[in-house]
Structure 1
Amino acid sequence: MRLVTSFKLALLGLWANKFRVLLSMLGIVIGVFAVIVLSAIALGVKDTVMKQLGGLGAEQMMIMPGRVLGDDTGNLNLLSGVSGAPSTLTYNDVVEIEKVESVESVTPILETVGRIDYKNSKQEEASAVEGMLIGTSATYPELMHTGLDEGRFFSMEEAEGKERVVVLGSHIHSTLMKERLTEQEIQNEDPGEQKQKWWQRLFNWLIGTSVNAEEAKQTLVGKEVLIQGEPFQVVGVLESQATLGMTTDNSILIPVQTALEVTSMQNLTTIYVQPNGVDGVEQVEKAVYSAVRVHHPESDFSIVKQTEMLEAIDKVTEILQVMLLGITATALLISGVGIMNVMVMSVRERTREIGIRKALGATTVEILYQFFFETLLLCTLGGAVGLALGYGFVQWWNGSITIFSLIIPIWVVKLSLFSSIGIGCICGIYPATKAARLQPSEALRFE
């Protein structure tokens, strides 16, 4: 019964000082909001990267220039760094790797910045854009798990024949088409539609009757473009894939041997190797290593397995999570100290009230409970508001931002609530004890 009465008095005390309560809660609200959002960002980034790399296949290998350094135990570790060295990988290495029986596919990658131009008969000047020029093979879509929005990908025969064919990323395609669409919007615009009122045009747009069929079919597939001044035929357009860390939207994909000719480059950036299965990956790695060494007397390359990359990323994200939790814990601690100071000032302002209550028979324990509950309610309410705001932000992000999704596991929710309650308990002890120790005679004489 005593606890219930103290709890009611705590509610009345908070209600009587609503403005001060709101200002005091603000620190806890911001702290809990930071815990929710920063944890969701860290976990979302980790989940997205893990899905992207994990989707490539746990048994996959990447051959890269330079040597991966070892850690304290002598094992190769990506986090220890990679010795800087220019790439010496060539297409001859790809040919040697393809001879290994246990290898299912080999995907060479040559990356550089390239310029692509497009001009139709109605344009005075060509549309031009720079993008990531990638020389690769027909297995690239399987490697990157990307689909086609229009057309097709170039075939193995076209790649081996060094055909001048190109597949465009969605952003490259839309950028090249932008000026053309702008001109044709004027030419194809319906004169009757111009006379419609704004609400009629909005209604037509909502029900889909104002879509111009001619504009919807605009595409560069089948058209000729210039890449580094050389004519290429567009055979396909990739689906938009603007996710964290890996995107093909700004890619210009051509056969790797064609890229070696057009760019006058001799070395590849990386080579991806897909074994036949997960069994015997270590043996396949040794066989691939031996195949590459045929043209590399010096060991100036490294073979990194997908599992090793995932382990390295997992360690980095764990460090990121610890850092973010440290920042948010500091924010919550500062908020708690601020609330404790506010409650101490509240005790000082309400000294005469405490003296009157004690003179009327209130015990020291009742006064202690009242001020302790006030602080606890303040922190709990602030934590609930911060949790609601954080959840709302995550829902808005996942509904509006496509680069990666935020994740709120249940342990983050529990951590936020328990942290706010714990801060309320810790920071409520001192002001409650200070109020309970006041002597009635001294409190009544306080001015």
Structure 2
Amino acid sequence: MKLLTGFKLACLGLWANRFRVLFSMAGVVIGMFAVIVLTSISIGVKDTLLKQMGGLGAEQILVIPGRVLDTVSGQKDLLSGLTSVPSTLTYEDAKEIEKVERVRSVTPHLETVSTVQTGEGRNIKKLQAVLVGSTDQYSRVQHAKLAEGRFFTKEEQKAKARVVVLGSNIYEGLLGKESRPEETREPADAATKPWWQRLFSSLAPQSAAAEKQEASLIGKEVVMNGTNYKVIGVMAPNASLGSSTDNNVVMPIETALQETNMKNLNKMIVEADSTAVIDRVDGDVFAAIKKNHKEIDFSVVKQEQMLEALNKVTAILQAMLAGITVTALIISGTGIMNVMVMSVRERTREIGIRKALGATTFQVMVQFLFETLLLCFLGGLIGLGIGYLFIELWNDTISIFSLVLPLWAVKLALTSSFAVGILFGIYPALKAARMNPSQALRFE
């Protein structure tokens, strides 16, 4: 009963000073918002990177130009970076790797920047794009889904066919969607509609979907470096950290080698038969490439080595964000403590009257401790709500990576709010509880 009475008195005390409570709660709200959002950012970035790296598959090996240094234990030290040397990897290296036993596939990547254009005269449209030369396995390895058309075949690759698959940004840019705002305008009578109807209409996806069906480049030709290429497919949007295909124009590797001045590859993705033979294939691939190179100016990296480096980076990121979060909580807790100390001072006569009427030291302490806990808890709930709305808004509008809010992060935020309330509420509560009744009654 004493605790229940203390809780009721704490609620009455907060309500009597509700305007001050709202302002003092701002620090806790900001602190809880920081806990939720920063935790979601760190988890979202880590999950996105792990999905991209894990998307390679545990049976896949990455061959890249430059030399990755080895640690004392013989592992690849990816965090130290690559030696700064130009690529000497060639398509002949890829063919040599194909001869290695237990290798299922080899996907070379040749990349350069080029200009792609379509149309004639005043209707001509030009865009800079990443020209990618690869094999028919590109879409599978890059997890690039098709929105329209198809991907080129192995036969087209061998025949050096002039066919291309466009990334979504390039496709939409060549269609001129970014420069045709008049097509998305509201009808003339829209101005007479209520504001909420106009807002709903602007957010409705039907107009965008209808515009998408208006035109298509499938079967038409685009020009790059003075050569015509037939568009046979369009990749679906997949904007993400560091591996987006939205600005790519993909063509067969043989065609790219023939039509561009590029002779060296940017990377190769080698796929083994199974994870059981990955170590053996890793050594055999290294030996196969070494035959064509006078010096070791390339690196063969297994997926598990990339994941180890990624885990180290994300651990540093999480430690940094944890430090920021703790700092925000300490600042908010200090603000709450200062407010409560001032409240105790202003309510000295109230405390004196309560103690004179028989309130014990414990009851007074519980009342002020409950006030601090309630203030922190309410601020935590508000901060949690604002953080959740921010995460939903981010995920609805930004596609580069998603923010992830796990249940344990919510529990951490609420637990942190209680911890801040207890830690920074003890001093004001003890200060109030230890007051001498006679001195408190004489306080002016």
Query: Normalising by structure 1, what TM-score?
Result: 0.91
Does the aligned pair in 2 maintain the 1:33–1:386 contact within 8 Å?
A: yes
Q: Within 5 Å, which residues of 2 pair with 1:284-299?
A: 284-299=281-296
1:168-215 Cα offsets, whole Å, 9 max, x none, are: 1111011111179959979xxxxxx988777899999989799979x8
Query: d(CA) in 1 for partners of 2:201 and 2:434?
Result: 74
| Residue 144 (structure 2) pairs with residue 175 (structure 1) | no
Matched residue, 2:432: 435
Question: Within 2, Cα distance between the matches of 1:2 and 1:209?
Answer: 63
- Aligned residue in 2 for 1:60: 60
User: Structure 1 residues 363, 251: CA separation in 2 closer, same or farther (over 3 Å shift)?
Assistant: same
Judge which range, 152-161 or 69-78, deviates more.
Answer: 69-78
> Given the alignment of the two structures, is residue 338 of structure 1 paired with residue 335 of structure 2, yes or no?
yes
Residues 346 and 86 from structure 1, CA distance in 2 versus in 1: closer, same or farther, beyond 3 angstroms? same
SS at match of 2:76: coil
> What are the residue-to-residue correspondences of 1:73-92 with 2, within 5 Å?
73-92=73-92
Q: Tell me the distance in 1 between the aligned counterparts of 2:162 and 2:429.
A: 80
Report how far residue 36 of structure 1 moved.
0.8
Identify if the C-alpha distance between structure 1 residues 179 and 348 changes in structure 2 by more than 3 Å, giving closer, same or farther: closer
Paired with 1:291 and 1:173, the residues of 2 have a C-alpha distance of: 39
Match of 2:260 among 252, 259, 263: 263
**8 Å Cα contact 1:71/1:80 also seen in 2:** no
Shift of 1:410: 2.1
Q: State the AA in 2 paired with 1:139.
A: Q
Q: Residue 142 in 1 paired to residue 134 in 2?
A: no
Are 1:372 and 2:369 counterparts? Answer: yes
Residues 39-82 of structure 1: CA distance to partner in whole angstroms, max 9, x if unpaired? 11111111122122212211101110111112353422212322
Which one is further off, 160-169 or 333-342? 160-169
Change (3 A) 1:284 1:418: same
- Secondary structure of residue in 2 paired with 1:246: coil
Answer yes or no: is 1:161 the counterpart of 2:159: yes
State the Cα distance separating 1:139 from its structure 2 match.
Answer: 0.9
Change (3 A) 1:72 1:330: farther
Distance in 2 between residues matched to 1:100 and 1:198, nearest whole Å: 68
**Structure 2 residue aligned with 1:283:** 280
Q: Give the equivalent residue in structure 2 for 1:131.
A: 129
CA contact (8 A) 2:172 2:178 kept: no
Q: Which runs of 5+ in 2 are unaligned?
A: none
**In the TM superposition, what whole-angstrom CA distance separates every residue of 1:97-144 from its partner, at most 9, and x where no partner exists?**
111131111111011111011114xx4352100011111111101111
Q: How far 1:251 moved relative to its partner?
A: 0.3
Superposed, 1:197-346 pairs within 5 Å as 216-346=213-343
Aligned residues: 439
**CA separation of 1:360/1:29 partners in 2, compared to 1, >3 Å: closer, same or farther?**
same
Equivalent-residue separation in structure 2 for 1:37 and 1:59 (angstroms): 35
| Per-residue Cα deviation, 1:71-94 (whole angstroms, up to 9, x for no partner) | 353422212322221100011101
Aligned residues of 2:75 and 2:305 also touching (Cα < 8 A) = no
- Which segments of structure 1 move beyond 4 Å, counting only runs of 4 or more? 179-186, 193-213
Give the % identical residues: 53
Other structure's SS at 2:333 match: helix
* Structure 1 residue 411 corresponds to structure 2 residue 427: no
User: Which amino acid in the other structure matches residue 166 of structure 2?
Assistant: L
Residues 1:405 and 1:438: Cα distance change in structure 2 (over 3 Å): same
Letter in 2 for 1:17: N
Out of 145, 150, 153, the position equivalent to 1:152 is 150
Q: 1:353 aligns with which of 319, 344, 350?
A: 350
One-letter amino acid of the counterpart of residue 369, structure 2: F
Following TM superposition, by how much is the alpha carbon of 1:402 offset from its aligned partner in structure 2, in angstroms? 2.8
Distance 1:175 1:6, change over 3 A: same
1:383 corresponds, among 374, 380, 383, to: 380
Q: Distance in 2 between matches of 1:180 and 1:348?
A: 63
- 1:212, 1:399 → 2: CA distance? 21
Quickly say closer, same or farther: Cα 1:376–1:66, change in 2 above 3 A: same
Q: Is the contact between residue 135 and residue 252 of structure 2 (CA under 8 Å) also seen in structure 1?
A: yes
Q: Is the 8 A contact 1:117 1:127 kept in 2?
A: yes
Distance 1:354 1:416 in 2: 32
Amino acid corresponding to residue 236 of structure 2 in structure 1? E
The match for 1:424 is: 421
Q: State yes or no: 1:106 paired with 2:103.
A: no
**8 Å contact from structure 2 (residues 76, 301) kept in 1:** no
Distance 2:52 2:209 in 1: 36
CA contact (8 A) 1:39 1:324 kept: yes
Pair 150,181 (structure 1): closer, same or farther in 2 beyond 3 Å:
farther
Q: Which amino acid aligns with 1:443?
A: A
* Distance (Å, rounded) in 1 between the aligned partners of 2:141 and 2:9: 66
Work out whether residues 127 and 179 of structure 1, in 8 Å CA contact, stay in contact via their aligned partners in 2: no
Which structure 1 residue ranges, 5 or more long, are not aligned? Answer: 187-192
AA at the equivalent of 2:309? A
Give the direction of change, closer, same or farther, for the CA distance of 1:184–1:383 in structure 2 (3 Å limit). closer
CA deviation string 1:363-422 (max 9, x = no partner): 222211211111111112211222222223223333443332222222212211111111
Matched position secondary structure for 1:346: helix
- 2:123 & 2:337 partners in 1: Cα distance? 69
Query: Distance in 1 between the 2:377 and 2:262 partners?
Result: 63
- 1:37 counterpart letter in structure 2: V
Distance in structure 2 (CA, Å) of the matches to 1:179 and 1:414: 45
